[in-house]
Structure 1
Amino acid sequence: MTAISLRNVDISYGDTKIVHGATFDVAEGESFALVGESGSGKSTILKAIAGLAPEWTGDIDVLGQSRGHGVDYRFASRCQMVFQDPYGSLHPRKTVDSVLTEPLKIHGIGNRDTRVKDILNAVGLDQRFRFRFPHQLSGGQRQRVAIARALILEPRVMLLDEPTSALDVSVQAEILNLLKRLRAEQGLTYLMVTHNLPVVGFMCERMAIMNKGRIVEIAPSTALHDGSFGDPYSQSLYAASGGNPDLKEIV
């Protein structure tokens, strides 16, 4: 089954078109990356899928259902997003417990105490963090809370917008390993935005390379080992990484 399907998607902010004709499929259970320089439109695609960039045309399907424009609470139970900045994505005046129980209240889901305990365990956070505020947590701990918040509704699809780029290098590997484990345990589908090619090699099976709002090539992650990219821009990104990026640096 196809988890995410985009067909000829154009995305605009006002009169400015950011993404042009984006077309790709992500299979259920796959981890797929959007790769490119800053400003190439990668995060804008995630926002359109999540309902945060409503000015788009074309077709977006998630788990076989057409995606409408704007926020859809039913969609939230199937697909969730983890944002780049764990400092900005959590409410500074809400405890971890409040952050995690809020989605359950919105969707009328019971057994909240057990669900919160279980999801904290799943992301590797001790129960003592449950009633702390974001400023009392490290960057890595905050991102674990953000991942827990996304997972507490038990979605099948996760949108990951540079989930480690705002973290210290020493913490990035921990979060990537956590995401990889959660995907295996829960059968999740990932659509990940990153500019870091070693992350793609570690996390993903395939990637779409974007340049100036357009997808110029879809390639397997094995191309990072042998340089078998067909598009000149993809080849230049690969060359800029030094060729065959060292995947061991993040594991």
Structure 2
Amino acid sequence: MTALSLKHLDISYGETQITHGISLDIAEGESFALVGESGSGKSTVLKAVAGLAPQWTGSITVFGQPRSHGIDQHFARHCQMVFQDPYGSLHPRKTIDAILSEPLAIHGIGNQNSRVEDMLVAVGLDRKFRFRYPHQLSGGQRQRVAIARALMLEPKLLLLDEPTSALDVSVQAEILNLLKRLRRQQNLTFLMVTHNLPVVSFLCDRLAVMRHGRIVEIADVADLKRGALQEPYSRELMDISVAHAG
């Protein structure tokens, strides 16, 4: 089954058109990356899917259901987003317990106590963190909480906006391993935005290269690992990534 289908997606902010004719299909259980330079429009695609960039034309379909414009409570049960900055995305004056319980309360889901504890365990956090505040946690721990919050409603599609770029390198690997494990255990589908091609190689099955709001190439990660991307711009991104890694 197709988890996410975008057809001729044009997204605008006011008078400024950001993306042009974005079309792609992501299979259920697949991990797919949007890569490109800053300003290429990749995060804007995530925001449109999440309902945070409502000015778009074309179609967005999630598990066969057309996506409406704007925030949709029913849609939230199927699709959630993990943001780049785990400190900015968590309410500073709410405990971890309150942050994780809130989606359950909004959607009228009971058994909150055990669900919160189970999710903390699932993301590798001790129960002692439950009644702490975000500022009392490290960056990696905060991102684990952000991932836990996204999973509280048991969605099948996760939108990941540079989920490790704000973290120390040593912590990035822990979060990537966590995401890989959760995807396998919960049969999750990922749409991830990143500029980090080694992250794509580790976590994803396919990628789309974006430039100036357009997709210039869709490829298998196997092609990325072999250095066999076709478009000159895609190869340029690979070269930059290799240079940074060195």
- TM-score, normalising length: structure 1: 0.96
| CA distance in structure 1 between the aligned counterparts of 2:58 and 2:2, rounded to whole angstroms | 17
Partner of 1:163: 163
Which residue matches 1:191? 191
Q: Which amino acid aligns with 1:169?
A: V
Distance 2:226 2:209 in 1: 16
Counterparts in 2 of 1:211-230, with a 5 A limit? 211-230=211-230
Give the 3-state SS of the residue equivalent to 2:108 in structure 1.
coil
Distance in 2, matches of 1:102 and 1:242, equals: 42
CA positional deviation for 1:229: 1.4
Match of 1:85 in 2: 85
The SS at the match of 2:35 is strand
Q: Please provide the CA RMSD for this pair.
A: 1.3
Aligned-pair CA distance for 1:8: 0.3
1:76 aligns with 2:79: no
Are 1:204 and 2:204 counterparts?
Answer: yes
Rounded Cα–Cα distance in structure 2 between residues aligned with 1:129 and 1:239: 42
1:48-197 equivalent positions in 2, closer than 5 A: 48-197=48-197
Letter in 2 for 1:174: E
Could you tell me how far 1:240 is from its partner in structure 2?
Answer: 1.9
> 1:113 & 1:241 partners in 2: Cα distance?
44
Displacement of 1:226: 1.8
Post-superposition offset of 1:232? 1.4
Query: How far does residue 168 in structure 1 lie from its aligned partner after superposition?
Result: 0.7
How far apart, in 1, do the equivalents of 2:6 and 2:134 lie? 35
Secondary structure in 1 matching 2:166: coil
SS at 1:184 equivalent: helix
How far, CA to CA, are the matches of 2:73 and 2:115 in structure 1? 19
Question: For the residues of structure 2 that align with 1:194 and 1:58, how far apart are their CA atoms?
Answer: 24
> The residue matched to 2:19 in structure 1 has which SS?
strand
Code of the residue aligned with 1:62 in structure 2: it is V
- SS state at 2:21 partner: strand
Measure the CA separation in 2 of the matches of 1:201 and 1:242.
Answer: 12
Percent of residue pairs bearing the same amino acid type: 70
State how far apart, in whole Å, the 1-side matches of 2:121 and 2:240 are: 39
Q: Which residue of 2 aligns with 1:23?
A: 23
Report the secondary structure of 1:224's partner residue: helix
| Structure 2 residue runs without a partner (length 5+) | none
1:143-191 CA-to-partner distances (Å, cap 9, x unmatched) read: 0000000001000000000000000111000000000000000000000
For 1:103 and 1:115, the matched residues in 2 are separated by 11
Match of 2:241, as an amino acid? S
Residue 234 (structure 2) aligns with: 234
Aligned AA (2:177): N
2:20 match: secondary structure: strand
CA deviation after TM superposition for structure 1 residue 74, in Å: 0.4
SS at match of 1:19: coil
Q: Is the partner of 1:222 in helix, strand or coil?
A: helix
1:242, distance to aligned residue in structure 2 (A): 2.7
> What is the count of residue pairs matched by the alignment?
246
Distance 2:77 2:225 in 1: 37
- The residue identity in structure 2 corresponding to 1:94 is K
The separation in 2 between residues aligned to 1:2 and 1:238, in whole angstroms, is 29
Q: Which stretches in structure 1 are left out of the alignment for 5+ residues? A: none
Alpha-carbon distance in 2 for matches of 1:218, 1:141 = 33
